[in-house]
A and B are shown apart, each in its own frame.
Chain A
């Protein structure tokens, strides 16, 4: 059973604050790491797919880094806005190629 851990489980920040979350995954048999954003009553939305150690990806105020040797990825949000409130899910893909999801980090941005 693959272990994909996300921390923190939940997070409250003030509008304008920057924040980051962690995704830990197995460091062996790495193939890809996905990040998704899931807003309440909507469908999960793909943010990033990362495949190379040292990858850094950016989409607007959101960015992510990847360290496959130590098995972690960070997601950063700069200048959080209320519309960033959502659950952020990471998913690991190893040799089996299927996605194993973490439990998510629930972010609430207070106006």
Chain B
């Protein structure tokens, strides 16, 4: 089975610019997650979708971050405008159903550097 696809793999932008990341989950996976992993820390959940609805976005900085999953499949995460502290790896994951007893399947991530 094809894994979770993410693009781009790397992105370098200047502060105050905008950036978008794309994720295609495993086919048939209803639940999609976006995580932010800052160097030296564990991944932090930004937003969780169940099909095209938001389950949890409590840790998403909504003044600058937005995410959508319009048709319940692919998802995009946007940052506008970027700040220096947004430098991180952005991981997308999916699972067959919602439920923390389900393993999550991760993409390779997008490494974002803000200059």
A residues contacting B by CB (< 8 A) are 4, 31-32, 34, 36, 41-46, 49, 51, 89, 91, 93, 96-104
Contacts and interface: CB of A to CB of B under 8 A. Distances in A.
A92 to B, nearest CB: 9
Contacts, number: 55
Contact of B43 (A41, A51, A97, A101): A101
Categorize the interface residue count of chain B. 20 to 34
Interface stretch (B14-22, B60-68, B73-81, B101-109): B101-109
Contacts of A31: 100-101
Given A34-B104, A102-B42, A103-B40, 15 more contacts: A4-B42, A36-B106, A43-B4, A43-B106, A44-B93, A45-B106, A49-B101, A49-B102, A89-B42, A91-B42, A97-B99, A100-B42, A101-B44, A103-B41, A104-B42
8 contacts: A31-B101, A43-B3, A43-B109, A97-B98, A101-B42, A101-B43, A103-B41, A103-B42
